[in-house]
Amino acid sequence: MKKLQLLLALVLLGLFSGCGSMLPSERSEARSPFTDYLDAEARYNQAVTGKTTRSELFALGFDPLAQGNGKMLSFIDIRQLFVQANIPIEYLPEGLVECLEAKDRCIGYSFDFTKTDSARVGSFWADVLNFKKEREIQGWSFRAIFVLIDDTLVHKVSNGEPNIRRLEVKRNPLGPLQGAGEYFSDQLK
């Protein structure tokens, strides 16, 4: 009997030792023509104010129609993005001032590219029984705004996160009972 119990324990241990791989994972990506943050930044740097045309900008991968994840901005959108009530217009870069003066001849493009992978980590049983859920998030994000007058780039700005590394931990001391009160109160409505 002892040998059977020992054998059963070993089999169960073997089955559940790899349970961490049974936890769910996610992938989220705002599709882009760029392989990673450095690729996006390198192409962004190829756009030169005063020289790059709209078609050249599109060829670099910053085309809201072909690549997606881009917004087309009017000069009013650009004004709302860059002009603050307590900052004089003279403090803005020259290309933005020219854009605001050009009005309808000014157009902008705003892009937001993000790629993240999310995986649940930690104890399988703590996760399944809702006591503790841990999630690792890794990836990158790149945002850029281009301002053009007629067909020529006059201003550009970018920011982003080249190396996203986050750990989210959610603890539920009551485990599977956590949230049961909300569930029952919703059922009574």
Q: Report pLDDT digits (tens) over 50-93.
A: 999 999 999 999 999 887 788 999 989 999 998 888 888 888 89
- The amino acid at 84: Q
Please give the DSSP secondary-structure letter assigned to residue 18. Answer: T
Measured distance CA(10)–CA(1) in Å, rounded: 14
Quick check: helix, strand or coil at residue 110?
strand
Measured distance CA(75)–CA(53) in Å, rounded: 18
pTM: 0.73
Q: Report pLDDT digits (tens) over 122-140.
A: 777 777 777 778 888 889 9
What would the 3-class secondary structure string for 114-175 be?
Answer: EEEEEEEECCHHHHHCCCEEEEEEEEEEEEEEEEEECCEEEEEEEEEEEEEEEEEEEECCCH
